[in-house]
Amino acid sequence: MLGHNLPLSDVIRAGTLLSGEVLRAENRDTAPARPVFEADLDHLVPPGRGIAAEPVAGMSDNPRRARLSDPELMPAVIEVIWHDLPWLREPLVGWLKRLGSDGLERVRARAAVIAGHLLRHDFDSVYRDVVKFWALSRTVNDRRCASLALAVALAADDPWLTERVDKQVADWAGSPRTPFQDSAARAYGTPVGTRDVPGTLSALQALAGRPALVPYASVAYSTAALFLAPDGAEPVAEALGRWIRSSNDNLPRHAVRTLLVLGPFAVGPELAYRPTLAQQAMNDLEREETLLLLWQRALIDPAHSGQAWQLLRQWLLAADEDEELATFLEKFGLRICVDRLLGRAVFHLRRWARQQPEARCVAQLLRPLGGP
């Protein structure tokens, strides 16, 4: 579970942390100074005992990785530890909290997965002792763990558990506390939200309209996840159209961030250079108007303009490999670069043309704006 397919260094470090928690539970004030894992790996874990420790098995790996012989057995092991060895609960909770704050994303994710499996067996206790701690944390990584843990619990496909997870996320969303709101927004980007894209978009819009989430990108990333979900592109495009035109200034900010998150995504292997958002706009005038507003807001907003200009450059360079995209962007770019954006556009286009003189679409757009 935690260690499967992770680098052995991660597994050994996590095991050392767990041992320290267990030793403290055995009425020791501090963990011993001597490391838990000090012997040769093949001596610690003989071949065939659940981990690929023999030299031949790991020689092709760099770094060497732990591989459980039966990964499906680990959820049962976790359940036994939780229910049949109650004295280990407190060390396990402390261990999960420490791993949830680990510097490596892969380790944090595994901690969330373990918590999610424990939620399937004892939702109330695990939520109270671990997941709520993460959801209320000031640390973004902890809140990511909270949302992932609920998604793992949901994957059990248990009707009662599904209802419990949905209610918990709704409670977070309705809370006046900012960390709970952010945790809810992150959860909506997991299968908790992608099961019902229209309903989730309504919940995200309610969250995005509040000032509390303006400093965070959670709404944008979750909206992007909904866009990439099956049958999610059209509902999300409609929502972005509403948000960018909203009189509530918080909503356009999240709409712009969603543009920046989704902007690099291509249609697919058959159109590897064509951004999905551009493809939508090429086939629908309403989508084109929405994309125009998104780009103009992104390029003028001091908080996002640097990233937005770089994304526009990527689109223009990609158009050199896609004739239809180039035709669209040459006209669309002229519509973007008006009023306050005109001078900035000429500045950036001239710089890009000097840096990459072979960039045809850049030169084509620059010419009517004030090229060469």
pLDDT digits (tens, 9 = 90+) for 290-329: 999 999 999 999 999 999 999 999 999 999 999 999 999 9
Which one-letter amino acid corresponds to residue 188?
Answer: Y
- Among the residue ranges 58-67, 74-83, 154-163, 217-226, the one predicted with the least confidence is 58-67
In a domain, 354, yes or no: no
Residues 6+ positions from 190 with CB-CB distance below 8 Å? 147, 148, 150, 151, 154, 225
Q: Kindly report, residue by residue over 22-49, the tens digit of the pLDDT.
A: 556 566 556 555 554 454 545 544 555 4
CA–CA distance, 62 with 280 (Å, rounded to integer): 42
DSSP state letters, 217-257? -HHHHHHHHHHHSTT-HHHHHHHHHHHHT-SSTHHHHHHHH
Q: What is the pLDDT of residue 37?
A: 46
Of residues 6 and 58, the one with the higher pLDDT is: 6
Q: Which residue has the higher pLDDT, 44 or 177?
A: 177
Locate all alpha helices (DSSP H) within 48-104, ordered by sequence: 55-58, 74-84, 89-100
Q: Confirm whether 217 is domain-assigned.
A: no
Q: Does residue 66 sit within a domain?
A: yes
**pLDDT value at 181 more than 60:** yes
Identify whether 178 is part of a domain. yes
Closest CA to 243 of 276, 201, 275, 279: 201
Mean pLDDT within 120-136 = 95
Q: In the prediction, which pLDDT does 169 show?
A: 98
What is the pTM assigned to this prediction? Answer: 0.84
- Residue 271 is encoded by which pair of tokens? 């159109």
The dihedral sign for the CA sequence 221, 222, 225, 227: negative
Q: Is residue 210 part of a domain?
A: no
Q: Is residue 159 part of a domain?
A: yes
Q: Determine, yes or no, domain membership for 366.
A: no
Residue 309 identity (one-letter amino acid) = W
Does any domain span residue 134?
A: yes
SS3 273: strand
Q: Judge contact between 233 and 265, C-beta under 8 A.
A: no
Query: Residue written as tokens 């709409």?
Result: 255
- At residue 77, the pLDDT reads 73
Domain span at residue 132 reads: 1-187
Number of domains in the chain: 1
